[in-house]
Amino acid sequence: MNSIAEPELIFKDQKLIGDKIDRVTRKLKDLGDIFSDKAAYSAMDKETVVYNVESSFPVPHNTEGGLFYGITYIHPGKVGKEYFMTKGHFHKIRNRAEYYCTIEGNGMLLLMDKDGVTRAEKMVAGSIHYIPGNTAHRTVNVGDTILSFSAFWPADAGHDYEIIAKHGFSKILIENNGIPELVDNIVTA
Ligand code: S6P
Ligand code: ZN
């Protein structure tokens, strides 16, 4: 008997291919809370795609000891001066960590600890980022092309979007004279 199997999952032609891939699209209409410039946001076409996520869940959600895999593709663009970005989240089980590996594009990984201190790491093709537990994470496309990266996280991590949807990160990334700048998030609402 031949016990050599074909791969179950393959990243080919900038796409994750395999059985039971979960595909999610986030458009501007899904992201009303996250951008600071509300006037710029309301003037934009809400059908604009900001990012897509393709994920593989080989075990049921919440399986202790299991791992999930996903690829995120963030389109280039801005709302006012703020770059297109993901919603951002803490893991529901707060101490669960994650790895991000950049495939292509230019981005920033925003990391906010539980005391609300935010820092950023540059994302370039090949860069590998360890996201410690108890740390909210968001990715930002600061380039003119798609930013894509793969992610590996524990199957029981879960997602907590609420805190970020309400308060955001303590810093935001804006374009200043063509250069990304990390500035304090002045919450006006
Ligand atoms: C999951 C992992 C990523 C994100 C994806 C979209 O733990 O961090 O797959 O889900 O980058 O970001 P968000 O914040 O909308 O889930
Ligand atoms: Zn995560």
pLDDT at residue number 189 = 45
On the question of pLDDT at 104 being above 60, the answer is yes
Residue bearing the CA closest to ligand 1, atom 6: 86
Residue 103 exposed, middle or buried by CB count within 10 Å (0-12, 13-18, 19+): middle
Instruction: Give the C-alpha separation, 163 to 139, whole Å.
Output: 17
Please write the tens of the pLDDT for every residue from 15-67.
Answer: 999 999 999 999 999 998 899 999 999 999 999 999 999 999 999 999 999 99
Which candidate, 49, 178, 164, places its Cα nearest to that of 110? 164
Residue bearing the CA closest to ligand 1, atom 7: 153
pTM exceeding the 0.85 threshold for the entire prediction: yes
Residue bearing the CA closest to ligand 1, atom 15: 87
Distance 94 CA to ligand 2 centre (A): 10
On the question of pLDDT at 182 being above 70, the answer is yes
On the question of pLDDT at 144 being above 50, the answer is yes
Please write the tens of the pLDDT for every residue from 69-87.
Answer: 999 999 999 999 999 999 9
Atom of ligand 1 nearest to the CA of 72: 11
Q: Contact 143/108 with Cβ under 8 angstroms? A: no
Residue bearing the CA closest to ligand 1, atom 14: 88
pLDDT at residue number 110 = 98
Instruction: Give the residue, out of 72, 92, 103, 156, with the most ligand 1 atoms within 8 A of its beta carbon, to mutate for a pocket test.
Output: 72
